[in-house]
Amino acid sequence: TVLEGAGAAALAGALLPNLLRDRGLNGKKIVLVLCGGNIDLSVLNRVIERAFAADGRMCRVTCSIKDQPGRLVELCQIIAAAEGNVKQISHDRNFAPLDPSWVSSVFTIETRNHQHIEEIHRALQAAGISFNVG
């Protein structure tokens, strides 16, 4: 259920420790009205994507690669071979390592779970790709 913050107030109250007991409602059937769909879709999208990341269904990897033709394709092929689905790439020459012959590439990758993320990391390591997570 998607609710705006105020629409979940009844649920928040019911979850407070001892509230139901103090009101003599322990063991009784209660009804909570959950309402309000006034939530911004961009906020909802951020909530969903954060949940995906926490669940291991999405990760971000920043790689340093030589700034040469074909290197970005090779990096994408390594991720694809590990069955990662590239959602977004930021290929940045301006804020890359100090050596101008290297570039920083930030990948957002859809994954299955935390173990799958580790498999992708191992594939990058095996290929000699320098990377950071997060």
**Distance (Å, rounded) from C-alpha 79 to C-alpha 71?**
13
Size (the chain), residues: 134
Phi and psi torsions of 4, nearest 5°? -75, 165
Point out which residues pair with 88 in neighbouring strands: 108
For residue 128, the model assigns a pLDDT of 95
Of 8, 10, 11, 14, nearest to 26 by C-alpha is: 14
Confidence of residue 133 (pLDDT cuts 50, 70, 90): very high
pTM: predicted TM-score of the whole model, two decimal places: 0.72
Mean pLDDT for the stretch of residues 103-125: 97
On the question of pLDDT at 17 being above 90, the answer is no
Please count the CA atoms within 13 angstroms of the CA of 46 that sit on its side-chain side.
4
